[in-house]
Amino acid sequence: MLTPEEIERIMSGEEFEQDGWNYQGINGNISPTRSDGLSEQPSPTLSNPMSDTIENISSDSDMANRYDGETYVQHIEQLMYAEQQEPLKLPFTFPDGHIITHTELFELLCKFADQILFYQTAWVKRLPFFREVPIKDFTLLLSKTWHENLILTAACNHRRKIFNELSRVTRRYQPSEEELKHFPQEGMEIMERMVVLASKFQQLNITPEEYVCMKIVNFLNPDVEGITSPEIIEQINKQYWYAFQDYTESRSRHHPGRFRELMMCLPEIRYTASKMLDIPVEQMPLLFKAIMHACNIQVPENPYPPPV
């Protein structure tokens, strides 16, 4: 669990600085056909079994030239490496048969959000371009995108175990008549959009590799207000955008529109996440209960078969 002091240190950038990382800027003239600082990072050796499908993909020299000698396979390998962490767990549990109160569920959700922020911070430090972006920009991107990543993670099949556990908890929370009476109309819209997103993601059956690509493209948003190096962030974003496109097109030759379908999910995720920020905090327990009930999240037997 993160203490308030730890959260403040993360958001101020001290969490990065105290670990001894030194920011090394790169010039703003990089293009999508180069990787500059990225190519200086060795491609890690993966032990994650979810990345096995990457190794069997062949890539030609034209694709390699887009990344200054690296291939889109190596770019995605780096993302899979950065993603390797212990699974998310609920901060605490409740005894069997215990009826969960508003205060208890609210505390659980707050600590769960703290945990997600902590995981996101560790993830950022493992990204291959970590030294190329100012710490303050990373801090700002973390604070502006963590709730979007929460929705993306919840909707992806292979990351749903934690949300099944959360769903079981919310079922044991019984809102009062007063809470139901004051549930905002915006909450109904969010619930409906989450149902649509969950259905869409279930249909697409997003693989772990596609998930990490969507996550990084969404995270590297140069339009976030206050960013000091939007050109650098945009150029790095383009590299992973191209890698994602090449990867998807090589694996989904019988589904040529798959890349577009995946990318079209991101604006919907951002919109839904922005609407969640408008909900009063005291309504969050009821909102999460409604979302979990409506989406009825279940882990499939085979969470990520190859798309066809």
- Domain holding 246, by residue range, is 69-295
Q: DSSP letters along the chain, please?
A: ---HHHHHHHHHTHHHHTTT-------TT--TT--GGGGGSPPPPP--GGGHHHHT----HHHHHTBTTB-HHHHHHHHHHHH--PPP--S----TTPPBPHHHHHHHHHHHHHHHHHHHHHHHHTSTTGGGS-HHHHHHHHHHHHHHHHHHHHHSGGG-HHHHHHHHHHTTB---HHHHHT--HHHHHHHHHHHHHHHHHHHHT--HHHHHHHHHHHH--TTSTT-S-HHHHHHHHHHHHHHHHHHHHHH-TT-TTHHHHHHTHHHHHHHHHHHHTTS-GGGHHHHHHHHHHHHT----SSS-PPP-
In a domain, 8, yes or no: no
Mean pLDDT computed over 285-289: 91
Mean pLDDT computed over 59-75: 58
Tokens 């249909």 found at:
203
Mean pLDDT computed over 240-249: 93
Q: At residue 278, does pLDDT exceed 70?
A: yes
Instruction: Return the minimum-mean-pLDDT range out of 9-13, 32-36, 241-245.
Output: 32-36
Beta bridge partners of 70: 67
- Rounded mean pLDDT of the chain? 76
Mean pLDDT computed over 27-56: 33
Over the stretch 253-267, which tens digit does the pLDDT of each residue have? 888 899 999 999 999
pLDDT class of 27 with cuts at 50, 70, 90: very low
In a domain, 11, yes or no: no
Q: At residue 297, does pLDDT exceed 90?
A: no
pLDDT above 90 coverage of the chain, percent? 35
Of 64-73, 83-92, 284-293, the range with the highest mean pLDDT is 284-293
Mean pLDDT computed over 230-248: 94
Tokens of 214: 């969507």
Over the stretch 152-198, which tens digit does the pLDDT of each residue have? 887 775 456 777 788 889 999 999 998 888 888 889 999 889 888 88
In a domain, 54, yes or no: no
In a domain, 41, yes or no: no
In a domain, 290, yes or no: yes
CATH number of the domain where residue 250 is located: 1.10.565.10
pLDDT class of 5 with cuts at 50, 70, 90: low
Please tell me the total count of domains within the chain. 1
Q: At residue 70, does pLDDT exceed 80?
A: no
Q: At residue 66, does pLDDT exceed 90?
A: no
| CB atoms closer than 10 angstroms to residue 130 | 18
More confident residue, 68 or 203: 203
Stated length of the chain: 308
The confidence score (pLDDT) of residue 198 equals 84
pTM over 0.85: no
Over the stretch 101-132, which tens digit does the pLDDT of each residue have? 999 999 999 888 888 888 888 899 999 999 99
pLDDT class of 25 with cuts at 50, 70, 90: very low
| CB atoms closer than 10 angstroms to residue 79 | 23
pLDDT above 70 coverage of the chain, percent? 71
Mean pLDDT computed over 271-279: 91
Q: At residue 143, does pLDDT exceed 60?
A: yes
The confidence score (pLDDT) of residue 296 equals 66
Tokens 């007063």 found at:
178
Mean pLDDT computed over 214-225: 94
**CB 232 within 8 Å of CB 30:** yes
In a domain, 257, yes or no: yes
Mean pLDDT computed over 68-95: 82
pLDDT class of 49 with cuts at 50, 70, 90: very low
In a domain, 144, yes or no: yes
In a domain, 289, yes or no: yes
